[in-house]
Chain A
Amino acid sequence: MMEVTYLGIIIKAILILAIISAIAGFGTYIERKVLAFMQRRLGPMHVGPYGLLQIAADGIKLFTKEDFIPQNANKLMFMVAPVITAATAFIALSAVPVFPDFTIFGIFVPSIAADVNIGILFVLGMMAAGLYGPLLAGMSQANKWGIIGAARTAAQFISYEVVTGLSLLAPIMMVGSLSLIDFNHYNETHPWMVFMQPVAFVLFLIAGFAETNRTPFDLLENEAEIIAGYATEYSGMRWGMFFIGEYANMITVSVLASIIFLGGYTDLWFIPGWLAIILKIAFMFFLMLWVRASWPHVRPDQFMWLAWKVLMPLAVINVVITGIVIMV
């Protein structure tokens, strides 16, 4: 049986890029449709059957739109910032296993691009680095809404990284490993982590929504208050790249939640593992849209209050209790 080579890793990297970009594009369509049905509308209907070709129309629009750079902006940083968002989102996905290992043409293929044995930390670290996209975008565009957006970015990401890390600490203590593959194996012999660590799951979900900049925590670009925040001056494909990055991050959080808390790609009754995890990821993605349709924005001060006075103490208490239970 052949081992995977550098070529295999490159192929996997290209596959991740292609598939996730496509899903991100399709995600915008799904999002509009789901929101529309929840609000008793039809959503996009004109382009193609059921508006399915809306993605193509949006793509043409984004690619052909003028790439506008404000006169007083720092041009280099303004152009680089969206790439940072997209790149960090994709790099984070490289350490996430999605499917069970499989064999194709007699070649054994582990379904993970970079099998680092601290996968969970790598993903969190890369998502943390993603804060530079909105931050540099906001600071470089010489626009006061941009700078407010950038300030909110820094505050939001730093605060909620703490909650994400602490909420995942309890499951990490139970599994005793930082490898996402070990998390998946743990789920084969134990009940799903969500039943043993419900508090950690809820905390991770809330922090995940904040880190992916989803409603009710999309304060970085809250139209009602700060126009579009860091994205105010962006147009065309550079704006599109921010969106692809956001959707890729949504998928990353969905995959993380599925693997850590919802049993990962282990077989489920009669459902094979690869299908089970797709269903779980799809459900998590749907949950994000569902929440967006159901909840209003929070105020920035409520948001910070929630992070530091409710979620963080809860996460710490959860970690302490888990530690005591493990010791006894």
Chain B
Amino acid sequence: MIPFAFYLFAILITGLFLVTVMSKNVLYAMTSLAAGMVLISGLFFILGADFLGVVQLIVYVGAVMAVYAFAMMFFDVTRDVEERHDKPWLVFLLGGGIAVTLVVIFAAPIMGETVHALYPPVAGATNPQAVGLVLFTKYLLPFEVASVMLLVAMIAGIILAGKKMEISLSAMDEDMIADTKEHA
């Protein structure tokens, strides 16, 4: 049952991501990317990593892709996007090179004989507990650094977006809106 599920998910994910890359339509690309993200969480569930699967769902499908969708609203999604390909061979070379490198990087430890888990799962710990144990012992420093980085990004975002935040267009009448336009 599990190999069957794995191959099913693998084929579907590859197909959907191919649509994402090949399609000229923004809507198709976005939807297939989101659907692929959902199916990747399926792979996590097969591996028994329920927590990571759900994190994949919430973070990538619920948040990241929704923000993409926000950006896509600037396009006319009913029309195809015309992409410019000045040097297709360069794109092919770079894309292929990155893909091969990634495969080699991830396949290298599998080839090695002496691979063993540095932090084997604690017996009896449930999924989220196991993640938490590693996160707050071995990886505490990267975790805190990442959180500080996110805080910085959040403050920067607020400052960038927050100019004239005290002005609310919906709380003004027509004349006041015209006035602010003149001053601007």
Contacts and interface: CB of A to CB of B under 8 A. Distances in A.
Interface of A: 72-74, 76-77, 80, 116-118, 121-122, 124-126, 128-129, 131-132, 135-136, 139-140, 142, 147, 150-151, 154, 157-158, 161, 165, 177-178, 299, 301
A150 B77 CA distance: 13
Contact of A128 (B58, B72, B127): B58
B170 interface: yes
B43 interface: no
B57 A135 contact: no
Contacts of A121: 51, 54-55, 58
B4 to A, nearest CB: 12
A130 B142 CA distance: 33
Given A117-B126, A147-B73, A74 B78 contact: yes
Interface of B: 25, 27-28, 31, 34, 38, 41, 45, 50-51, 54-55, 57-58, 61-63, 66-67, 69-70, 72-73, 77-78, 126-128, 168, 170
13 contacts: A74-B25, A121-B55, A124-B58, A129-B62, A131-B66, A132-B31, A132-B34, A139-B73, A139-B77, A151-B73, A158-B63, A158-B67, A178-B51
A118 B78 CA distance: 39
Given A116-B45, A140-B78, A158-B66, 18 more contacts: A72-B78, A73-B78, A74-B27, A118-B54, A118-B127, A122-B57, A125-B62, A128-B57, A128-B62, A129-B38, A135-B66, A135-B69, A139-B73, A142-B78, A151-B73, A154-B67, A161-B62, A161-B63
A128 B31 contact: no
Contacts of A126: 57
Nearest to A138: B73
Main SS of chain A's interface residues? helix
Given A125-B61, A128-B57, A136 B66 contact: no
A140 B79 CA distance: 10
Contacts of A72: 78
A140 B27 contact: yes
A72 B69 CA distance: 20
B69 to A, nearest CB: 6
Nearest to A177: B126
A142 B144 CA distance: 45
A142 to B, nearest CB: 5
Contacts of A136: 27, 31
Contact of A154 (B50, B57, B66, B170): B66
Given A121-B51, A157-B66, A139 B72 contact: yes
Contact of A122 (B54, B63, B66, B72): B54
B108 to A, nearest CB: 32
A228 B34 CA distance: 25
A200 to B, nearest CB: 19
Nearest to A302: B170
A252 to B, nearest CB: 15
Contacts of A74: 25, 27-28, 77-78
Nearest to B168: A301
Nearest to B72: A139
Nearest to B77: A139
B57 A129 contact: yes
A154 B61 contact: no
